[in-house]
Structure 1
Amino acid sequence: MTGTQGPARTATGRTVARRTVVAAAGAVGLGAALVACGSDDDSSDAVAQTPAGDGANGAAGGGEVLAKTADIPEGGGKVFEDKGVVVTQPTAGEFKAFSAACTHSGCTVGDISNGTITCPCHGSQFDAADGSVKKGPASKPLGAASITVEGDSITLA
C-alpha cells in the first residue's frame, strides 16, 4: 500500500489503522457472499418432506395426476418444477419421488439419467433410487415425496 494516509478515527475517538478497516470490510463482504450462495441447512428439507398440501410451500396437493408411468423412463425420471417434485423409475416398474430442490442451495434439479439426479447449479448428484448424495457439494439427501401409482397413473399422495 502506498500513500501517506494516517490512521482513521472512529465515532468513539479511537484510532484505527486503514488496513484494519479494509480487512473488516472484506470479511463482511465474504460473509454476505457465503450466505447468498446457500447452505446445507434444514430449510429445504422441511419443504421437501411435505409434498402434500395446498401448494403454498412449493408442494402440490394430494391426488393430482403428475404423469403416466410411460412418461418416466427406466433409469431416469422427470422433474415437475411447478409441483416441486422429481419422479424417478430406478428399475422397471419401481417409481420414487423426491423434492426437486437441491439440498445444497435450493436450485431445482435437472437431468435424471443412468440412475442419477443432477443439479445444474453446482453439480450435486443424487441417487435416483433413494435420493442419497452421490456427489457434492450437497451433503444431505433429497427429501422423499409421497406418490401413488395406480394403473398407468402417478399421483401425489
Structure 2
Amino acid sequence: MPGRPAPSRRTVLRSAAATPVAGLGLAACSPGDDGAAPARPTAPVDLGADGDVAKGATKLFPDGNVVVSRAADGSLKAFSTVCTHAGCPIRKLEGTKLVCNCHGSEFDARTGEVLHAPATVPLVELPVSVEQGRIVASPGT
C-alpha cells in the first residue's frame, strides 16, 4: 500500500510462527488423546498382583503410565512411561524397549535410559513396592 511502511522481517517471522498451518498433523504431536499431557502418578497406583511380573520380565501398565521390571533377584524397578521428549504416553513395549509413537524416542524399560533420540532425558524412576501381594508404584518426588 502506498504510504504504509513494509513490515520488518522480524514482524513477518513472528506472524508466521504464531499462525497455525493446516495439514501439519499437529494432533499427532499432542501429548494425550484428549490433548492433555499424561501425568506421572500423583497417588500410589495398584498395578496388579505380585505374580504379574515374573523374575527377568518387564510389563507395561498403560493405564497407570508405568512400566515395571523384575530383576533375577526378585527386586522391582518402575518408571513413568510419559516420554521425556514431548510428554506423550508410551504405549508400546518390545521386549525391554519402550517405543514412543509420537516421535520415535526409545527407552530401556529396565533402566529408564534413552536408547534413541529425540528424547535426551531418561524416564523418571518411581518408587515401587509389594504391599499385601500387590505391586504398587508411588509418585516420584
Counterpart in the other structure of 2:5: 14
Letter in 1 for 2:85: H
Counterpart in the other structure of 1:154: 135
TM-score, normalization: structure 1?
Answer: 0.59
Q: Does the 8 Å contact 1:77/1:113 carry over to 2?
A: no
> Larger % of helix: which?
1
Query: 1:60, 1:134 → 2: CA distance?
Result: 27
Q: Give unmatched runs, 5+ long, in structure 2.
A: 31-36
Q: Does the 8 Å contact 2:58/2:110 carry over to 1?
A: no
RMSD value, Cα: 3.7
Query: 1:90, 1:112 → 2: CA distance?
Result: 17
Query: 1:65, 1:78 → 2: CA distance?
Result: 13
The structure whose Rg is larger is 1
Overall identity of the aligned pairs, in %: 28
Are 1:78 and 2:60 an aligned pair?
yes
1:2-58: per-residue Cα shift (whole Å, max 9, x none)? xxxxxx468xx31349xx69963444448xx8x9857xxxxx8xx54xxxxxxxxxx
Query: 1:15, 1:124 → 2: CA distance?
Result: 43
Q: Give unmatched runs, 5+ long, in structure 1.
A: 1-7, 39-43, 49-58
User: Aligned pair count?
Assistant: 125
Match of 1:137 among 118, 129, 135: 118
Distance change (3 Å), C-alpha of 1:84 and 1:111: closer
